[in-house]
Chain A
Amino acid sequence: MNGLARRVMRRPAAVASTTWLGLVLVTAVGAPLFAPHGPLDQDLNHVLSDPSSGHLLGTDELGRDILSRLLYGGQSTLLGVVEALLVYLVLGVTFGLAAGYLGGWVDWVVTRTAELMFALPGIIIVLVVLSVFPSNLSAAMITFGVLGSPGLVRLLRAQTLSVREELYVAAARVSGLSRPQILRRHVLPRMISMVIVQAALFAAIVVTIQAGLGFLGFGVQPPNPSWGGLVADASNVIDTDPWMLVPAGVPLVLTVIALGLLGDAIRDAAIENWSLSKMAAPAAGVTARPAAAPDTDTDAGVPASDGAALLSVRGLSVEIGGTPVVQNVSFDLMPGQTLGVVGESGCGKSVTALGILGLVPGGGRISGGQCLFEGKDLATLSPAELAAVRGSGIAFVSQEPMVALDPTFTVSAQLAEAVRRHRRIPRRAARARVLELLDLVNIPDPAAVARRYPHQLSGGMAQRVAIALALAGDPRLLIADEPTTALDVTVQAEILALLRTLQDETGMSVLIVTHDWGVVADLCQRAVVMYAGQVVEHADVNAMFGQPYHPYTQGLLAANPHLAVEGEPLPTIPGTVPAPSDWPSGCRFSQRCPYATEECSAGPVALTRLQADRLSRCLHTDQLVLEGGRR
Chain B
Amino acid sequence: MAVFRMVLRRLLSSIPLLFAVSALTFVLVSLVPGDPARTIAGEHATVAQYTAVRLQMGLNQSLPLQYWHWLVQAVHGNLGSSLFSGEPVTQLLSNRLPVSLSLIISGTAVSGVLGVALGLFSARRGGFMVKAVDGLSLFGLGVPPFWLALVLVEVFAVKLRWFPAIGYVSPATDPAQWARSLVLPVVSLSLGASAIIAKQTRDSVLDTFNKDFIRVMQANGFSQRSILYRHVLKNAAIPVVTILGVVFVSLLAATVFVETVFAMPGLGLLIQQATLQHDIPVIQGAVLYITLLVVLANLLVDLAYGLLDPRVRAA
Contacts and interface: CB of A to CB of B under 8 A. Distances in A.
Judge: A and B partners, yes or no.
yes
Interface of A: 116, 119-125, 127-132, 204, 208, 211-212, 215-218, 231, 234-235, 238-239, 242, 245, 248-249, 252-254, 256-257, 260-261, 279, 281-285, 354, 357, 359, 361, 383, 387-392, 395-398, 400, 403-409, 417-418, 421-422, 453, 455, 466, 469-470, 472-473, 479
Given A122-B253, A400-B212, A466-B216, A238 B154 contact: yes
Interface stretch (B79-87, B108-116, B134-142, B181-189): B134-142
A408 B290 contact: no
Contact of A390 (B138, B213, B218, B309): B218
Contact of A132 (B29, B209, B253): B29
Instruction: Name the residue among B222, B249, B287 with the largest chain A CB count within 10 angstroms.
Output: B222
A610 B16 CA distance: 81
Given A121-B252, A124-B271, A132 B310 contact: no
Contact of B31 (A132, A285, A357): A132
Contact of A285 (B218, B220, B291): B218
A404 B213 CA distance: 4
Contacts of A218: 275
Contacts of A455: 310-311, 314
11 contacts: A116-B17, A131-B276, A132-B31, A215-B257, A245-B147, A260-B141, A283-B210, A357-B219, A396-B219, A398-B216, A407-B310
Closest 4 interchain pairs by CB? A391-B221, A396-B219, A257-B142, A123-B253
Nearest to B142: A257
A424 to B, nearest CB: 13
B220 A390 contact: yes
A231 B147 contact: yes
B126 A281 contact: yes
A238 B158 contact: yes
B311 A392 contact: no
A377 B119 CA distance: 36
B283 interface: yes
B18 to A, nearest CB: 9
B221 A406 contact: no
Nearest to A238: B154
Interface residues of B, number: 71
Contact of A406 (B25, B213, B275): B213
Contact of B216 (A120, A131, A404): A404
A231 B144 CA distance: 11
Contact of A116 (B20, B28, B224): B20
B84 to A, nearest CB: 13
Contact of A408 (B212, B295, B310): B310
B211 interface: yes
B280 to A, nearest CB: 8
Contacts of B106: none
A128 B275 CA distance: 7
A138 to B, nearest CB: 16
Nearest to B149: A235
A198 to B, nearest CB: 14
Contacts of A387: 221, 223-224
A256 B141 contact: yes
Contacts of B276: 131, 217
Given A256-B144, A396-B220, A282 B206 contact: yes
B96 interface: no
A470 to B, nearest CB: 6
Contacts of B213: 403-407
Given A132-B28, A253-B147, A390-B221, A121 B142 contact: no
B180 interface: no
B147 to A, nearest CB: 4
A407 B144 contact: no
A466 to B, nearest CB: 7
Contacts of B234: 406, 408-409
Interface of A is mostly: helix
Contacts of B29: 128, 131-132
Nearest to A261: B138
B257 A407 contact: no
A284 B210 CA distance: 9
B286 interface: yes
Contacts of A389: 221
Contacts of A391: 220-222
Nearest to B31: A132
Given A124-B286, A215-B257, A282 B220 contact: no
Given A131-B29, A279-B210, 15 more contacts: A119-B291, A119-B294, A123-B256, A204-B141, A211-B147, A217-B276, A238-B158, A239-B158, A283-B215, A283-B218, A285-B218, A390-B218, A395-B219, A403-B213, A417-B222
Nearest to B124: A284
A389 B295 CA distance: 51
B273 to A, nearest CB: 10
Contacts of A469: 216, 220
A398 B126 CA distance: 28
B218 A249 contact: no
Interface in B135-184: 138-139, 141-144, 146-147, 150-151, 153-154, 158
A132 B141 CA distance: 30
A398 B216 CA distance: 7
A406 B235 contact: yes
A397 B151 CA distance: 57
B226 interface: yes
A110 to B, nearest CB: 15
B150 A285 contact: no
A282 B216 contact: no
A249 B209 contact: no
A217 B272 CA distance: 10
A396 B283 CA distance: 63
B147 A252 contact: yes
A199 B151 CA distance: 29
Contacts of A472: 220
Contacts of A130: 275
A211 B150 CA distance: 14
B38 interface: no
A365 B253 CA distance: 50
Contacts of A404: 212-213, 216
A235 B154 CA distance: 9
A389 B221 CA distance: 7
A120 B158 contact: no
Contact of A418 (B220, B231, B249): B220
A128 B276 CA distance: 10
A148 to B, nearest CB: 12
B21 interface: yes
A215 B272 CA distance: 12
A208 B145 CA distance: 9
A128 B291 contact: no
